Structure 1
Amino acid sequence: MTEEPHITIGPLEVWIAGRRFEDVSDYRDGNWLVVRAEVRSPGSVVSCEGAWIHCDELQTFLEQLDAAHRALSGTARLQSLEPHLKVVVAFASLGHATLTIDITPDPVSEQHRFQDGTDQTYLEGTIRQIRAVLAEYPVVGTPPPEHGPSASGFVRIASSLADILFGKKVDPT
């Protein structure tokens, strides 16, 4: 791609093409963003394109990343209900953070995990980028009332399923 990515975090670059359904203001369908995500590292490039990120997932990631960045401790997770992209930023000592990026164009037959490090100063730019994306594509609609498992419960279930698909063992507790 020739244009600058909308979001960069370590080796991950994300371009936002727009909403999946431009004229829908429903919370569930109106918040899907069509993205192209790409990770480059020495010897490999993995990318995926599609409606893989929901605006509220990006909002939650921003809140977690901002809090962890300010405290210089903690973890931020971009966990989509779709298994194509997952990002974990875990702060360590002295402002350093570990990035774990799972990305795949085909979650049934491919698994790609990248691990990298970054520094708190680089994450300031990422936080600004995510804020800009959410300013252009704010969460629309009202979340449905919670019935049964909470929304975070669904995220945990989806994350566990993705981990199973990617071969990571899940602790049932």
Structure 2
Amino acid sequence: MKFYLLGERTNIEIDVLHRNFPDSTDYWDVNWVKSKIKIEIPGYLVCFNAELRTDELRDFVNELKLMKRFLQGKASLKNLDSYFQFDCEMDKLGNIMWTGETCYPAGYGAVLTFEFASDQTFLNTLIKELDEILTVFPVVGKP
């Protein structure tokens, strides 16, 4: 199940593959999911596997929904393992400025930092993709 961050000459694809520990009853274990990250920006193509948490996706989509509702604001997809971080901010005209940073291997590998612009037209699709992923991989339990 994939979701996309799209912008001018930028395509970020995050494919959520499966839970790492589907039989666990521990909140901190059961909410890890394996994913594949693919980033295409001018001059670079980056592809690697990463561990995500379903609560990271939930928090991100909730922030995006607020941004869409008020047509301004900020949203961040932060990764506990530091594979990546994507931050966006919408201005009053509906323009969205994104900043991204990846690190692979996580924590000590090569770092790529970049920016790109997009607009609010893709938010509905992004929110729908994330909601569908969270339907299949919901946040389980409480911390």
TM-score past 0.5 threshold? yes
CA distance in 1, matches of 2:25, 2:84: 24
Identity percentage of aligned residues: 28
> What's 2:83 paired with?
84
CA distance in 2, matches of 1:104, 1:37: 11
Read off the aligned partner of 2:30 and give its amino acid letter: G
> What's 2:26 paired with?
26
Post-superposition, which runs of at least 4 consecutive aligned residues in structure 1 deviate over 6 A? Answer: none
> What's 1:74 paired with?
73
* Residue correspondence of structure 1 range 2-151 to structure 2 within 5 A: 6-10=2-6, 11-51=11-51, 53-106=52-105, 107-143=107-143
Report deviation, 1:68: 0.9
Read off the aligned partner of 1:17 and give its amino acid letter: L
Q: Which has more radius of gyration? A: 1
The answer to which of 28-37 and 100-109 deviates more is 100-109
Report deviation, 1:25: 2.9
Where in structure 2 are there 5+ consecutive unaligned residues?
none
Higher helix share: 1
1:82 counterpart SS class:
coil
Where in structure 1 are there 5+ consecutive unaligned residues?
144-173
Aligned residues: 138
1:38-64 Cα shifts (integer Å, max 9, x gaps): 11012211122032x111111011100
Report deviation, 1:113: 1.4
Contact between 1:95 and 1:119, CA under 8 Å: does it hold in 2? yes
TM-score scaled by structure 1? 0.76
CA distance in 1, matches of 2:92, 2:142: 39
